[in-house]
């Protein structure tokens, strides 16, 4: 029941990209191509090109001063994930917040992520990640991750330490935080110190060294076409092409290809480790300081000359798919009756969850361990609260391994509304219906099944669940 083992963890003091200074310095000589670039937000996410379909998007069209949609984004706060490496593993010095001074929609179709320095010299900024963590190509098809972004409009000494990024991480990183780089990291766009450069990089395998030359990664860089990265919006895109053999990852800026990594460059078992899991989640952030800007600058950043308050503007983020036998499914629409049988595999988003054929017919979700969750949207409890919930579960967990199946409402980090404990039931397809108490809830909500255990091992499969009056 266990997926393929993850690659050895990166040291706790590092996680995200480390760039060779030679690469950064050489990039300064890169020539630019002519392109016409708009300085304003688009009205909407561009429709997919011929042959492509839109899987997911956000165009940040909310009212001025509001946070991005909680249905789409998780806001990271503090200086690390709980139990994760300090300073997010990169040495960056800011504290991330959910304060609208650092993170807000501007009412004009943009998201603003704004680093700020207070009177005591302390920096704050923002970092968000998609709720969905299942972005991967359809079998035999292509996935594209795209964003239209203006980097913080600051250059020279005033930009020292600025580190905007648009990137993705393999879903098994959630709840583990020690399995990087084996689970994969695809950096669509990074920039440091206000240079007119975009970096695109793959992190994979083991660290240090390995097939992705960690902690550098397999990367390349170029100047933004036409207008500088800081003075205008540009479109940054990575394509994961599973329609060719060997597969490819390709990086573009304004439609111009500047970096390619092939499956054979990475090799096995590392390619399978970074592509064989449930998919990727996307991230947007502006860090301050850390190993990358420090390494490029040749000194510690930020400095006394660094200015506060220059935002990264994000017009839209979109995920597209093309070809293949099936696509990354869009979230189901419509209302779900809380008192009907809710098939566990009909989730709208997930973290660490996989599906498999079920002995009782259809599919079940499995490989469920501490920190995993599945999300179900528009669950309608009506005007009468439930008395309990029931889940159809099975477990082949080894002796001494058990955990909780929990229901949470509207957030995967909300206090559990109900739960029950489960241990070995006689096998991973040995099913039983187990009830659990649940708090009073009425109306329509997003429901999360979350899984909590004191051990790291998988401890349960779920076929379906329901609530009872």
For the chain, domain boundaries: 21-323, 336-468
Print the SS3 string covering 331-397. Answer: CCCCCEECCCCEECCCCCEEECCEEEECCCCCEEEEEECCCCEEEEEEEECCCCCCCEEEEEEEECC
Dump pLDDT digits (tens) for 248-262. Answer: 999 999 999 999 999
Residue 10, pLDDT score: 33
pTM above 0.75, yes or no: no
Cβ–Cβ < 8 Å for 197, 191 = yes
Residue 7: which of 159, 145, 185 has the closest Cα?
185
Give the containing element (helix H, strand E) for 405: strand 403-409
Q: Which CATH number fits domain 21-323: 2.60.120.200, 3.40.50.720, 3.40.50.2300, 1.10.8.640?
A: 2.60.120.200
Dump pLDDT digits (tens) for 106-136. Answer: 999 999 999 999 999 999 999 999 999 999 9
CA dist 79 and 73 (Å) reads: 18
Query: Who has greater pLDDT, 307 or 363?
Result: 307
Residue 278, pLDDT score: 87
Q: In Å, what is the CA distance from 373 to each residue of 113, 258, 366, 421, 464?
A: 27, 36, 11, 16, 14
* Terminal Cα-to-Cα distance of the chain (whole angstroms): 34
Q: In Å, what is the CA distance from 425 to each residue of 1, 344, 350?
A: 14, 18, 24
Residue 11, pLDDT score: 31
Residue 33, pLDDT score: 34
Is the confidence at residue 21, as pLDDT, over 80?
Answer: no
CA dist 385 and 167 (Å) reads: 41
CATH annotation of 336-468: 2.60.120.260
Domains 21-323 and 336-468 share a fold: yes
Dump pLDDT digits (tens) for 326-357. Answer: 444 454 457 888 998 899 999 988 998 988 88
Residue 27, pLDDT score: 42
What residues pair up with 395 in beta bridges, in sequence order? 427
245 token code pair: 């053999």
Banded pLDDT at 447 (limits 50, 70, 90) = very high
């Amino acid at each position: 029941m266990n997926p393929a083992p993850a690659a050895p963890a990166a040291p706790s003091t590092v996680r995200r990209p480390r760039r060779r200074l030679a690469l950064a310095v050489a990039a300064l000589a890169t020539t630019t191509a002519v392109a016409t670039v708009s300085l304003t937000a688009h009205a909407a996410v561009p429709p997919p090109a011929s042959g492509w379909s839109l899987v997911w998007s956000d165009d940040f069209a909310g009212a001025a001063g509001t946070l991005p949609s909680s249905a789409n984004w998780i806001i990271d706060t503090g200086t690390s994930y709980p139990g994760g490496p300090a300073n997010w593993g990169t040495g960056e010095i800011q504290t991330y917040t959910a304060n609208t001074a650092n993170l807000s929609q501007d009412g004009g179709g943009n998201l603003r992520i704004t680093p700020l320095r207070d009177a005591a010299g302390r920096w704050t900024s923002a970092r968000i990640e998609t709720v969905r963590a299942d972005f991967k190509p359809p079998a035999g098809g292509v996935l594209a991750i795209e964003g239209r972004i203006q980097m913080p409009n600051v250059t020279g000494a005033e930009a020292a330490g600025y580190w905007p990024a648009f990137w993705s991480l393999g879903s098994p990183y959630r709840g583990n935080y020690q399995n990087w780089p084996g689970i994969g990291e695809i950096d669509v766009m990074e920039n440091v110190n206000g240079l007119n450069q975009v970096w695109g990089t793959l992190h994979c395998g083991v660290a240090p060294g390995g097939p992705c030359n960690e902690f550098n990664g397999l990367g390349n860089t170029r100047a933004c076409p036409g207008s500088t990265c800081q003075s205008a919006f540009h479109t940054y895109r990575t394509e994961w092409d599973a329609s060719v053999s060997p597969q490819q990852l390709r990086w573009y800026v304004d439609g111009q290809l500047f970096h390619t990594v092939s499956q054979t460059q990475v090799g096995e078992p590392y390619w399978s480790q970074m592509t064989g899991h449930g998919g990727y989640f996307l991230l947007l952030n502006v860090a301050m300081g850390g190993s990358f800007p420090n390494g490029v600058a040749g000194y510690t950043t930020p400095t006394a000359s660094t200015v506060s308050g220059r935002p990264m503007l994000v017009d839209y983020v979109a995920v597209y798919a093309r070809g293949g036998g099936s696509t990354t499914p869009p979230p189901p629409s419509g209302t779900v009756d809380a008192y009907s049988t809710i098939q566990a595999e009909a989730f709208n988003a997930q973290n660490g969850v996989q599906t498999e054929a079920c002995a009782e017919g259809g599919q079940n979700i499995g490989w469920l361990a501490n920190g995993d969750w599945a999300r179900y949207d528009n669950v309608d409890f009506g005007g009468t609260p439930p008395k309990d919930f029931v889940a159809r579960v099975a477990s082949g967990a080894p002796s001494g391994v058990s955990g909780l199946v929990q229901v949470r409402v509207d957030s995967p980090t909300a206090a559990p509304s109900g739960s029950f404990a489960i241990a070995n039931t006689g096998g991973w397809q040995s099913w039983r219906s187990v009830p659990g108490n649940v708090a009073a809830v009425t109306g329509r909500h997003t429901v999360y099944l979350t899984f909590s255990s004191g051990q790291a091992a998988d401890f349960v499969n779920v076929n379906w669940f329901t609530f009872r009056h």
